[in-house]
């Protein structure tokens, strides 16, 4: 595996040859950004959400979402980190912010001084999903799985800011903290995400509630799907498994899944929740991403919200 560790990205180290001491975790040029789409994760100020600060550490909001367009699932590159980073500094800065927030615990940062420009980057941790990897070791298979799930859970090829709640356990079985307030705000179960993009097994997602009705849609193309839908054209890189309960086992608390099995392989998943207002309905008077014009009353042909498609 070309993906090794965070060694050299600890605070105070990265300015001294991070490009030599850190082998890139590039997914075969996979995370090249498409257009202006980013892949960072932005935390809104707690007063804007009305949530306690601890909850803010867990409830993440996409900054344009993670674009899966062009995502290769063919394993990892062993190119030098700084060479890879300078292939697209702006996009890879956003990607690093996202990856570090998934992998590294809150209160820690990973820093990098770009040898080509002298620019210093500092990426804060949040979820701490990969403790060994974050500590400088090679990523275990379980860490590969939970980071893959984190990437998939925050994918949004529409490039929209959609807040989510993400529940589950890290690679050491520590639970991601949550509160009753969080569950109340993010009141709608959404999806389970899992897989392993480090070894080309792919990414998977299923519905964690009844499927979307014909007149319903969301602005998260990798999340909820309607009955029988194999994928959303905006998120074909994530394979659908139908209902989560058919492939996954719930934790005793009933709030998120402990494991999911596909093709005989067991994965560690992450489970997402969304706000009620992020499930759209044809006829609410607003043409939202996920709805299309037409002559009908369904999400893919919503005359009332999006018009008739007439020129």
77 with 92: CB under 8 angstroms? Answer: no
Closest by CA to 298, choosing from 180, 214, 206, is 214
The per-residue pLDDT for 8 is 46
The per-residue pLDDT for 80 is 61
Local confidence band at 69 (pLDDT 50, 70, 90 cut-offs): very low
Local confidence band at 193 (pLDDT 50, 70, 90 cut-offs): very high
Per-residue pLDDT tens over the stretch 83-122: 777 888 887 787 777 788 888 888 888 888 888 899 988 8
In the predicted model, is pLDDT for residue 250 greater than 60? yes
Q: How many CA atoms lie within 13 A of 230 on its CB side?
A: 3
Question: What is the full DSSP assignment across 63-92?
Answer: ES-B--TT---S-----BHHHHHTTSHHHH
Q: For the chain, give the mean pLDDT.
A: 74
d(CA 241, CA 205): 6
In the predicted model, is pLDDT for residue 32 greater than 60? no
The per-residue pLDDT for 45 is 28
**Consecutive H or E run containing 42:** strand 40-42
Global pTM value = 0.77
Per-residue pLDDT tens over the stretch 264-311: 999 999 999 999 999 999 999 999 888 899 999 998 899 999 999 877
């Amino acid at each position: 595996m070309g993906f090794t560790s965070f060694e050299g990205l600890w605070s105070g180290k990265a300015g001294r040859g991070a490009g030599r001491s850190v082998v890139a975790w590039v997914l075969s040029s996979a995370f090249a950004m498409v257009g202006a789409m980013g892949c960072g994760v932005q935390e809104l100020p707690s007063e804007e959400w009305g949530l306690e600060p601890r909850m803010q550490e867990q409830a993440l909001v996409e900054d344009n979402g993670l674009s899966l367009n062009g995502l290769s699932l063919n394993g990892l590159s062993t190119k030098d980190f700084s060479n890879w980073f300078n292939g697209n500094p702006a996009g890879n800065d956003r990607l690093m912010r996202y990856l570090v927030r998934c992998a590294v615990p809150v209160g820690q940062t990973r820093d990098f001084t770009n040898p080509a420009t002298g620019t210093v980057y500092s990426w804060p941790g949040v979820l701490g999903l990969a403790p060994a990897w974050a500590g400088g070791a090679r990523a275990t298979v379980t860490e590969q799985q939970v980071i893959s799930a984190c990437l998939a859970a925050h994918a949004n090829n529409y490039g929209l800011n959609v807040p989510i709640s993400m529940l589950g356990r890290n690679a050491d079985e520590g639970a991601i903290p949550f509160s009753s307030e969080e569950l109340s705000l993010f009141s709608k179960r959404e999806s389970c995400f899992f897989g392993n993009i480090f070894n080309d097994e792919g990414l998977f997602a299923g519905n964690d509630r009844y499927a979307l009705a014909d007149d319903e849609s969301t602005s998260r193309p990798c999340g909820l799907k309607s009955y029988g839908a194999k994928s959303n054209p905006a998120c074909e890189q994530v394979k659908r498994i139908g209902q989560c309960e058919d492939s996954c086992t719930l934790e005793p608390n009933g709030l998120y899944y402990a494991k999911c099995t596909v093709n005989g392989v067991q994965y560690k998943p992450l489970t997402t929740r969304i706000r009620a207002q992020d499930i759209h309905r044809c006829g609410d008077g607003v043409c939202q991403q996920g709805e299309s014009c037409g002559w009908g009353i369904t999400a893919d042909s919503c005359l009332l919200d999006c018009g008739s498609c007439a020129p």
